[in-house]
């Protein structure tokens, strides 16, 4: 049949589709169009044969055009379900013409009676739209939810399960209970007993959470919905019975790239509300006096106007602030003399929770620096819901990988050797944005195989074979590194050569370090373990600490070294140290290597002079327990002796202390020479013979330097041996003259390991 117009406005208001009497048997009351859309039909002599007389609102619901040919068949509801009739139905109502605006209130009890009289015995489907004439005013009605009853004779008995009653379509009767709800973008005002039985449709009816495109944040999104939107689903009069007001502010905070902006953007799409106003923090600021405050007031103007007119029936207005810390810093923290920052905060506070409170707004703020936000904004009644959007776990990373590779998999571009489970395991501490960057990088390697290096503009014509393979992701992992990951380059610089186990003490230190790493991983009682490696300069403390850190395979490993802070002020050093510790709390397993404590403190023996603010910062952070479900291992190194550590109150900061000794035995020197292959066996025996009786006390770092220096004299082996022996003796003489900076230490204290 062909689609045609209804012959008059009167016909359109009946909600029937009109057909020629010769097209269908008189017993046919309902038809299904294109095997999907069901309508109630009525015979009309003036209707052309093989043509459907449909109102515009019918054609819009069924996606039909005039003169379009469609398949039409009689429809029997009993084939679909044994429950034909509607027990109750939920209708969303608004003005048909948006320019209409009436101050009168519509009584829902009277609307229900007239609706049942007008459309009794007609069939209705979820999502169907129709025009309802109420006292001469055309209202647009949308079917939101329907529930069946078992039998026509039991219309007043609803003693059946919700699953049995739910369906997609059913027949309206005069006994059907109707619940009305106001359309979100309509100014219609409803009153009556049935109004409180319905819900506000603030969520888009066709919206699905799986379509948000956000991975690894299921619990966070659920918590945001519960705190900010659950109360808004129910009618205003129910919220009044609770005596509560809706949540007006949500603050999303966490590391960069974890999806804060994406969540805010998708929330705007999810809600059946006005288009959200998205504002970047710096856009508010203006060079003219008072203009910044005026920009804040403009954001709330529409919500204020509507709330004055409609009260609690006002629609929801959403304002999204990105980079909130740019305009809402702690008041009094800026000394620019203008006071603009403080005025902007004051203006925002007044609008959020001032004398004239608004109940139709929702502010969503986003920041990477929660510590910078003014505290007055964070209390209940303002930005009261604080949601940390953290780095995703393995399951979250897998979800994100599936989202970003969905097109590849749908189009069969990803090779079967790519294992997303494996990639999720390899991308520890990657944020969502970094995983996206990883997929882009892997794609670039796939493209590069089909580009000629000598002619970059020339692409091979066989582009159908472009596929992303596992090796592309392996190469991408070398290129894309997480911000909260491992300082691999800095740590490798600390270990130029592999650790040489020149004595049993070194092997025991490494073994004890592994025990401490396992303790942090497995023990539920010690989420924080701090270890101090102390000993004379050049004994290999930094190399041992870096080796322990890298062998832990923790996802977050950072180095705090005085080399990276040359020229920094005390305040800048404190800020940098504090930032590394704060970053570590975002990872489930972290290692921080604090190298050369005395240099960080600006310690000198003459004076003495040191930085007390930096010392206090280290004392606090060394003892601060990480947040729940976070574990931290601190490996610190120092040349301080026990007396200096006690004077600086640092002795009690560490759970364990490991003494790293110098090379003091001739067999140890011989072992190092054998490992580095400087001499042959005869030369090594000669060197050992000449060093007999010499009291050795040399750092491994110094010993390696001497060996490499002697290696340069490759031509004269005898001269090499003499040079090596003389340099060792001179070094010992110098050390004995200066004295042992760490005091007299018993050999039994070489590996003093105390685990609390």
Instruction: Find the CATH number of the domain harbouring 563.
Output: 3.40.50.300
Shared-domain flag, residues 498 and 616? yes
Residue 346, CA distances (Å) to 329, 351, 409, 574 in order: 11, 9, 51, 31
Which of 90, 60, 100, 318 minimizes the C-alpha distance to 201?
Answer: 90
Residue 174 lies in a domain: yes
Return the pLDDT at 635. 95
Given 388, 420, 445, the domain boundary residue is 388
Residue 91, CA distances (Å) to 81, 177, 312 in order: 22, 11, 20
Shared-domain flag, residues 569 and 610? yes
Residue 755 lies in a domain: no
Return the pLDDT at 19. 92
Which of 165, 164, 167, 153 minimizes the C-alpha distance to 124?
Answer: 167
**Structure tokens of 165?**
């009653």
Shared-domain flag, residues 216 and 265? yes
- Tell me the H-state helices in 246-364: 260-270, 281-284, 291-310, 340-353
| Rounded Cα gap, residues 154 and 172, in angstroms | 14
Residue 204 lies in a domain: no
Shared-domain flag, residues 137 and 214? no
Shared-domain flag, residues 381 and 403? no
Which of 304, 295, 318 minimizes the C-alpha distance to 355?
Answer: 304
Shared-domain flag, residues 592 and 495? yes
Return the pLDDT at 106. 86
Residue 138 lies in a domain: yes
CATH number of the domain bearing residue 444: 1.10.8.60
CATH number of the domain bearing residue 146: 3.10.330.10
**Helix (H/G/I), strand (E/B), else coil: 687:** helix
Domain of residue 692, residue span: 666-737
Return the pLDDT at 349. 86
| Rounded Cα gap, residues 594 and 562, in angstroms | 9
Overall pTM > 0.95: no
Shared-domain flag, residues 400 and 369? no
Residue 197 lies in a domain: no
Return the pLDDT at 221. 80
**Helix (H/G/I), strand (E/B), else coil: 506:** helix
| Rounded Cα gap, residues 711 and 536, in angstroms | 26
**Structure tokens of 60?**
């819009």
| Dihedral over Cα of 378, 383, 385, 387: its sign | negative
Shared-domain flag, residues 323 and 435? no
CA quadruple 33, 35, 37, 41: dihedral, nearest 10: 40
Q: How many domains does the chain have?
A: 6
Return the pLDDT at 422. 92
391: left (phi over 0), alpha (psi -120 to 50) or beta: beta
252: β partners = 366, 387
Largest CA distance in the chain: 126
| Rounded Cα gap, residues 568 and 431, in angstroms | 30
Which of 303, 324, 326, 323 minimizes the C-alpha distance to 314?
Answer: 303
**Terminal CA-to-CA distance of the chain, rounded, Å?**
86
Kindly list the averaged pLDDT for each block of 10 residues, start to end, along the chain of length 756. 89 91 90 92 91 91 92 79 74 80 80 91 91 90 79 39 56 87 78 51 58 73 81 71 83 87 78 77 79 88 82 79 84 64 83 76 87 86 87 88 90 89 91 91 87 58 76 92 84 78 86 91 90 91 91 91 90 93 91 93 80 93 91 93 87 90 85 80 80 82 83 68 81 59 42 40
Given 471, 500, 519, the domain boundary residue is 471
Residue 707 lies in a domain: yes
| Rounded Cα gap, residues 156 and 199, in angstroms | 22
CATH number of the domain bearing residue 51: 2.40.40.20
| Rounded Cα gap, residues 294 and 57, in angstroms | 43
| Rounded Cα gap, residues 131 and 399, in angstroms | 43
Given 74, 97, 132, the domain boundary residue is 74
Residue 65 lies in a domain: yes
Return the pLDDT at 750. 40
Shared-domain flag, residues 182 and 50? no
| Rounded Cα gap, residues 104 and 111, in angstroms | 14
Return the pLDDT at 69. 93
Shared-domain flag, residues 38 and 141? no
Return the pLDDT at 756. 33
Residue 754 lies in a domain: no
Shared-domain flag, residues 362 and 218? yes
Cβ 85 vs Cβ 177: under 8 Å: no
Cβ 397 vs Cβ 430: under 8 Å: yes
Which of 166, 274, 260, 279 minimizes the C-alpha distance to 221?
Answer: 260
Cα atoms found within 13 Å of the Cα of residue 341, Cβ hemisphere only: 18
| Rounded Cα gap, residues 51 and 585, in angstroms | 70
Shared-domain flag, residues 116 and 249? no
SS (H, E, C) 523-556: CCCCCEEEEEEECCCCCCHHHHHHHHHHHHCCCE
């Amino acid at each position: 049949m062909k689609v045609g117009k209804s012959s008059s406005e009167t016909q359109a208001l009946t909600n029937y589709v009109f057909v020629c009497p010769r097209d269908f048997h008189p017993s046919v009351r309902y038809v299904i169009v294109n095997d999907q859309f069901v309508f109630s039909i009525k015979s009309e002599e003036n209707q052309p044969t093989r043509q459907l007389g449909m109102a515009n609102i019918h054609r819009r619901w069924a996606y039909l055009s005039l003169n379009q040919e469609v398949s039409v068949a009689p429809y029997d509801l009993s084939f679909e379900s044994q429950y034909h009739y509607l027990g109750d139905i939920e209708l969303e109502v608004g003005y048909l013409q948006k320019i209409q605006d009436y101050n009168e209130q519509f009584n829902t009890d009277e609307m229900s009676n007239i609706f049942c009289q007008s459309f009794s015995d007609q069939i209705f489907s979820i999502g169907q739209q129709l025009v309802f004439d109420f006292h001469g005013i055309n209202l647009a009605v949308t079917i939101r939810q329907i529930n069946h009853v078992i039998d026509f004779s039991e219309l007043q008995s609803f003693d059946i399960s919700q699953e049995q009653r739910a369906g997609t379509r059913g027949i309206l009767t005069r006994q059907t209970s109707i619940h009305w709800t106001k359309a979100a973008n309509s100014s219609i005002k409803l009153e009556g007993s049935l109004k409180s039985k319905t819900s506000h449709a603030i969520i888009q009816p066709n919206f699905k959470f799986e379509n948000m495109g956000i991975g690894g944040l299921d619990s966070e999104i659920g918590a945001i919905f519960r705190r900010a939107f659950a109360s808004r689903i129910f009618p205003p009069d129910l919220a009044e019975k609770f005596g509560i007001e809706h949540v007006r502010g949500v603050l999303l905070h966490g590391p960069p790239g974890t999806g804060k902006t994406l969540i805010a953007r998708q929330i705007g799409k999810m809600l059946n509300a006005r288009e959200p106003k998205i504002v970047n923090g710096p856009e508010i600021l203006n060079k003219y006096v008072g203009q910044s405050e005026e920009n804040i007031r403009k954001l709330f103007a529409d919500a204020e106007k509507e709330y004055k007119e409609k009260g609690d029936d006002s629609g929801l207005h959403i304002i999204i602030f990105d980079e909130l810390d740019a305009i809402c810093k702690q008041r009094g923290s800026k000394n620019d003399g203008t006071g603009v920052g403080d005025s902007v905060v004051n203006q925002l506070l007044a609008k959020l929770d001032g004398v004239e409170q608004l109940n139709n707004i929702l502010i969503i703020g986003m920041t990477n620096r929660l510590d910078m936000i003014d505290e007055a904004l964070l209390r209940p009644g303002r930005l009261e819901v604080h949601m940390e959007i953290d780095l995703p776990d393995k399951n979250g990373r897998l979800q994100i990988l599936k989202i970003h590779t969905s097109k590849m998999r749908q189009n069969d571009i990803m090779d079967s050797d790519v294992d997303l489970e494996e990639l999720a395991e390899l991308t520890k501490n990657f944020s969502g944005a970094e995983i996206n960057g990883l997929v882009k990088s892997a794609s670039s390697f796939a493209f590069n195989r089909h580009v000629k290096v000598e002619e970059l503009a020339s692409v091979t014509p066989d582009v159908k074979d472009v596929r992303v393979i596992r090796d592309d992701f392996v190469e991408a992992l070398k290129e894309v590194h997480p911000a909260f990951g491992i300082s691999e380059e800095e740590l490798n610089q600390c270990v130029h050569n592999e650790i040489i186990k020149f004595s049993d003490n070194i092997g025991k230190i490494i073994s004890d370090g592994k025990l401490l790493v396992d303790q942090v991983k497995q023990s539920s009682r010690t989420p924080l373990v701090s270890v101090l490696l102390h000993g004379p300069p050049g004994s290999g403390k930094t190399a041992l600490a870096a080796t322990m850190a890298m062998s832990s395979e923790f996802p977050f490993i950072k180095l705090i070294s005085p080399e990276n802070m040359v020229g920094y002020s005390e305040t800048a050093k404190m800020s940098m140290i504090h930032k590394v510790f704060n970053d570590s709390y975002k990872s489930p397993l972290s290692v921080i290597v604090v190298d050369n404590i005395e240099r960080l403190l600006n310690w000198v023996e003459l004076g003495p002079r040191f930085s007390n603010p930096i010392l206090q910062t280290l004392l606090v952070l060394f003892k601060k327990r990480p947040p729940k479900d976070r574990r931290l291992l601190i490996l610190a190194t120092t040349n301080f002796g026990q007396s200096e550590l006690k004077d600086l109150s640092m002795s009690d900061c560490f759970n364990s202390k490991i003494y790293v000794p110098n090379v003091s035995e001739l067999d140890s020197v011989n072992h190092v020479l054998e490992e580095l292959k400087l001499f042959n066996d005869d030369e090594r025996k000669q060197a050992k013979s000449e060093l007999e009786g010499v009291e050795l006390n040399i750092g491994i770092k110094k010993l390696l330097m001497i060996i490499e220096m002697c290696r340069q004299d490759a031509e004269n082996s005898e001269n090499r041996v003499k040079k090596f022996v003389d340099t060792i003796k001179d070094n010992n003489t110098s050390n004995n003259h200066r004295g042992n900076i760490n005091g007299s230490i018993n050999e039994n204290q070489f590996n003093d390991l105390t685990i609390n």
